[in-house]
Amino acid sequence: MSSGRLEGKVAVITGGTSGIGRAGVIRFAQEGARVVVGSRDRAAGDALVRELAGQGPEVTHVPTDVARAEDAARLVEAAVGRHGRLDILWSNAGVQEAGTAPETSEEIWERVIGVNLTGHFHMAKFAIPVMTRQGGGAIIFTASELGLVGASSSLAYCAAKGGVVNMTRAMAIDCAPAAIRVNCLCPGAIRTPMLERWFREAPDPALLERRQTEPIPLGRLGRPEEIAAAAVFLASDESSYMTGAIQLVDGGVTTGYGI
């Protein structure tokens, strides 16, 4: 039997109960990793653990709000306490809120930056010392195509994702001497509960979905499994010479003007 690409590794995945993160938990476990999932909703975490029980390496869930430093610390401690090490951090949790600058309340700004930027900082802050002690590791952040280009009415989201992109580069430099690779995934439009919600809330959901899909050279929305596949590559030793990389997985949508 061939061994998985993440055989024997221990991974923490935040936002692993839905969409992209959920596809990642399933794929990482199939590749041989023991996965500790962090997200807020305990019931969703318990349901995922029950669903995957007995199908491969152990998957556990720790209720976590990545915007809270103490929760992020507890998630890393839980992984190390249970498995004795931490090889991979896929910091993926995120929230989406629409709005221009005048429309964005202080509260929404704080929430989006708190989860989508500070949350990644928290997770890395507590994972890096563990990985340094054990001689290396791999960190992956989920940013977005909207970390590289702007979009209308997505001000806080774009600001946070742009921050994650450049945090990746700075952290990659800091972590290289400890053999910790830090890379970033920039998904395009991926069909997940987050995207479905955004479509649903539009005055004309079908029109928004068509407008979103038309400029994508590959002609369709992405699937969560296609982001998980890229994450497996960045988490595995196959990407051993990659750090500080900003990896687009967007069906080509940021290549041009759609003409």
Ligand X SMILES: NC(=O)c1ccc[n+]([C@@H]2O[C@H](COP(=O)([O-])OP(=O)(O)OC[C@H]3O[C@@H](n4cnc5c(N)ncnc54)[C@H](OP(=O)(O)O)[C@@H]3O)[C@@H](O)[C@H]2O)c1
DSSP state of 194: H
Q: How far is CA 239 from the centre of its chain?
A: 17
Query: Which of 29, 189, 231, 232 is in the footprint of ligand X by CB under 6 A?
Result: 189
Is residue 230 close enough to count as binding ligand X by CB under 6 A? no
Asked whether the CA dihedral 66, 75, 91, 220 is positive or negative, the reply is negative
- β-bridge partners, 35: 11, 59
Whole-angstrom Cα distance, residue 25 to residue 11?
Answer: 9
CB neighbours of residue 197 within 10 Å: 10
Is residue 15 close enough to count as binding ligand X by CB under 6 A? yes
Query: Which of 4, 6, 31, 65 is in the footprint of ligand X by CB under 6 A?
Result: 65
Query: Which of 172, 195, 228, 253 is in the footprint of ligand X by CB under 6 A?
Result: 195
Query: Which of 5, 11, 12, 17 is in the footprint of ligand X by CB under 6 A?
Result: 17
Residue 95 in contact with residue 145, Cβ under 8 Å? no
- β-bridge partners, 99: 154
Per-residue contact string for residues 76-115; x = within reach of ligand X by CB under 6 A: ----------------xxxx-------------------x
Cβ within 8 Å of residue 180, ≥6 positions away? 128, 131, 132, 136, 137, 138, 139
Is residue 20 close enough to count as binding ligand X by CB under 6 A? yes
Of the residues 121, 126, 157, 198, only one is catalytic, namely 157
Cβ within 8 Å of residue 216, ≥6 positions away? 188, 189, 250, 251, 252, 253
Is residue 14 close enough to count as binding ligand X by CB under 6 A? yes
Is residue 142 close enough to count as binding ligand X by CB under 6 A? yes
**Looking at 3-11, 102-110, 189-197, 241-249, which segment touches ligand X (CB under 6 A)?**
189-197
Query: Which of 49, 108, 149, 194 is in the footprint of ligand X by CB under 6 A?
Result: 194
Is 241 known to be catalytic? Answer: no
Per-residue contact string for residues 25-64; x = within reach of ligand X by CB under 6 A: -------------xxxx--x-------------------x
Of 73, 64, 179, which is closest to residue 125 (Cα–Cα)? Answer: 73
Report, as residue numbers or ranges, the catalytic residues: 157
Site of interaction with ligand X (CB under 6 A):
14-15, 17-21, 38-41, 44, 64-67, 92-95, 115, 119, 142, 144, 187, 189-190, 192-195
